[in-house]
Structure 1
Amino acid sequence: MDPLAHRTMIAQVQVERQRLLPEHEEATRTTIDMLRTSTGRDDPASVPYLNLAYLLGVKNTYGDDKLMALALSVANWATTAINDLAHHTARTPQQIIDHYETDIIADRESPT
């Protein structure tokens, strides 16, 4: 990326972060609710549907800004969870991601 494009992107990220900051607390609460609903399920195939229901509910009820704040919150939680898992399993975050990526590829290539 050329330096001007990089500076422009950084500036845009900073503006958006400031704009979405007021949504942070509610997005965190929604993330916690969504994770409590989705984790530990007996039927892991239902998880994408439950998560999508939360995302659509936020989008349809509150609009794109709150959806973006929720997406940012979920991404931050995922990053923290990967870092914690890596720390507790003596692996690098990249190794954790590689493991899940390999599982996804294997699932996609396996006959159903």
Structure 2
Amino acid sequence: MDPFARRKMIAQVQVEQQRLLPEHEEATRTTIEMLRTSTGHDDAGLVPCLNLAYLLGVKNTYGDDRLMALALSVANWATTAVNDLARHTGRSPQQIIDQYETDIIADREDLA
């Protein structure tokens, strides 16, 4: 990315962060609620349905800004979870992600 495009992207990110800041607290509460509902299920197929129901509920009730804030919150939680798992297992975050990616590829091949 050229320096001008990079500066423009950073400026846009800063503007969006400030704009979405009022949504942060509610997005965090919704993320916690969604994770409490979605985790601990033996049926892996149920998890995407539960998560999608939350996302659609937020979008339909509160609109795109709250949905964007929720997506940002979930991404931040996922990043923290990967970093924590890496630290507790002695692997790098990249190794954790590589393992998930390998598992997804294997699952896809099993379905084919």
TM-score interval for Structure 1 and Structure 2 normalised by the shorter chain: over 0.9
Shift of 1:49: 0.4
Distance of 2:42 and 2:95 partners within structure 1:
27
**TM-score, scaled relative to structure 2:** 0.98
Stretches of structure 2 lacking an aligned partner (at least 5 in a row):
none
Shift of 1:18: 0.5
Q: Give the counterpart letter for 2:20 in structure 1.
A: L
1:86-105 to 2 correspondences below 5 Å:
86-105=86-105
1:28-47 to 2 correspondences below 5 Å:
28-47=28-47
The sequence identity of aligned pairs, in percent, is 83
Deviations 1:34-80 (A, max 9, x none): 00000001212100000000000000000000000000000000000
**TM-score, scaled relative to structure 1:** 0.98
Distance of 2:10 and 2:85 partners within structure 1:
29
Shift of 1:6: 0.5
Aligned with 1:44: secondary structure? coil
Query: How many residues in Structure 1 have an aligned counterpart in Structure 2?
Result: 112
Shift of 1:111: 3.6
Deviations 1:55-107 (A, max 9, x none): 00000000000000000000000000000000000000000000000000111
1:53 maps onto 2:53 in alignment = yes
Deviations 1:6-52 (A, max 9, x none): 10000000000000011000000000000000000121210000000
1:1-112 to 2 correspondences below 5 Å:
1-111=1-111
Distance of 2:2 and 2:94 partners within structure 1:
26
Stretches of structure 1 lacking an aligned partner (at least 5 in a row):
none
Q: Give the counterpart letter for 2:81 in structure 1.
A: A
Distance of 1:110 and 1:45 partners within structure 2:
15
